[in-house]
Structure 1
Amino acid sequence: MRVKINASMIQMGLRWLTSGLRDFNVILAEQRLTQADLVWLSSLSTNQRQLSAVDALPVSLYRVHYNTLKVGRGYLDDEEFREIGNKMVMFMEFCHFSRVNGTSPILAVGLDDVAYRVFEAGSFDSRMMLVSRGGFSIGTRCNLRKLRMNLSSPTDQLRDVTTVLLGDLRHFLKPGVSGIGRVKDYPSTMPLDVVATELLQQKLQPKLVSQWTGLNADEVVRIKRSLLRDTPLVGSQSGRIQAPNKTLAENPLHSLLYLTVYRLLADNPLRRTNARAVVAAHREYVDLCKAVGLEAGDMISPSNGYQLSNAMKTGDITLTPCSKCKEINARYALKPGRCIWCNH
């Protein structure tokens, strides 16, 4: 991870708290932060160990909200210009965090890619209007008090990443909230051999490529051999394809994180296995794991990620709130395991 953001945003919260009651109340009215959020974030600034842990996360603790992207043109007086300009710098930092780290905006800062492109690529004047009239604001992405903030444990850091993204999933699944599911599957007009080549390059096993494309298994093997001749480093992920329930049982946290990422990215994930989103989700999942210090051998393979996505489509695996702690957990329908959050 090349750029960090959380410590800077927490410092901003502290400055808001110390700016005076009037300014503080204005911030609470304009941003989607509660007083409890700001008090917690500000108290964190005095704990260097925990602050370092959240600053090392590859996802922001804050989500960028907006009401509309259709704002037209307008005029700002001097006071508005100064105030909106300061806010715009903050939102540009969120865009910078996503772009430089190469993380999808929906995962990095909870902003859908359409709004990200409009804001990031817009002119100075258009960005000013978006902040002024588009309802751009920030809010926390999850219950921050549930974060472990343990920099010495990659697993705890990965749990915190999962907690943040599950908070986003809850938000975007609410009625009337849009922004997820932007990765559409390969179009039907795309030649199947081209699709097969791309999936093989992403290290999916030939058996799964044949299953998804409908190509003869021998044809897929021929394409793979051709790839191996041209690019020797392209090969299938080592290890066997596992049944999705076995992957879930052996790697519950990794399975939950992968499926959460896939659910946020994929178009219609409950109706079809979106192969293009499988590729995108696995790439993002691997980057998140690497960012917290996990080794490749600890991660789910692309093929087993495909199997998990397919099981979500069939309903064999669901993302369901635990009946006890209410946290979202990945459950195998035929034999639900214990909740990874409360062990219920």
Structure 2
Amino acid sequence: MPKSVDVPVMAKRRTSRAGGRKSGSKASDGPGFLTRMVDQLTPGPGVRIAIQALGWTGLLVGIGMGTVMGLPELEQRAMARDQALPGDLQVVLPEPGWYAEHPEWTLPEVRRALQGLVVDSVDGHSRSPRVRDGLTEAHQRLNDTHWFRRIDRLRWIDPRTIVVDGEWERPAAWVEADRGGRQLDLLVGTDGRRLPLEEERNDRRPRITGVDAGSIPEVGGDFGEDVLAALALHRLLAPFDWNDQISSIDVSGLSSSEGLVIRTNQGCSIVWGASPEARIDASEVTIRQKLDFLDYFDRNFGRIDARCSLSSGLGRIDLRIDYALWMAIDGDTGPSTTR
């Protein structure tokens, strides 16, 4: 009986050891072990995000440092290349809309002087589209000439061409003036501002006479109400075919009761009266009546001053009164009693 009990016990122990050795071999070998190793060495989601962020940060820092270190040198090379380009600097000024009507008001020497001013301003700095300092200086100097109503901007369109965007002052008439014993014609703009052009007195038109010497402003300043009134009358009469018979508009009568006077190129004085933009005085006929009167004489007699009383020494027609037409026809100095 004791022997039959010992045998199964020994066999069981051997089986257990063998099973243990076999199980340990499977745990240390095969794909399961490699998988666990890979899992242990692979970083988790948080670590991966941190590594990616660190990589992008390093890349951006490298790009930034390269840009800071490289751009100045590239700029210097580009500016040197611009400076070395052959040819003179070209300046394109705004095209004046009134040039076709009055080319004498846009004298070539004026345009050349303004273009030279821009070139001089830019030459004081690096001549390159990459440099704004020269354009800023040129902008201010152009404003100071008083030739422009506004200057929007100056811009490079290539390394040798600058374009000026803006609007010219629009000339309107010449104002006769005596300055230091010289008889001059001063150019005035449509808004009454004195423009930077004066010439020896000539027969230029349209022109304004009778301006008080003490009221003439410096270049860029505004003329008085008398010149503005004459400009308004010039604008009113400009569309008519007979306008070329007008030599000037005299404003000296505005200080008295006479008002504006139209001087014709045959020596006649046509009293117009108040400014077309002023309130009509009750003692004057309407603007329409005055224009109809001038139209009538030009249409029927060939000139607006055809019945000017030169023979009587008056040389004068008064448009302000309602009997002006009959007085001019009859050569009377007073109203006709028969009409």
Give the TM interval when normalised to the shorter protein.
Answer: under 0.3
Q: Which protein has the bigger helix share?
A: 1
TM value normalised by structure 2: 0.23
Q: Which protein has the bigger strand share?
A: 2
Q: Which has the higher contact order (CA 8 A, sep 6+)?
A: 1
Larger radius of gyration: 2
TM value normalised by structure 1: 0.23
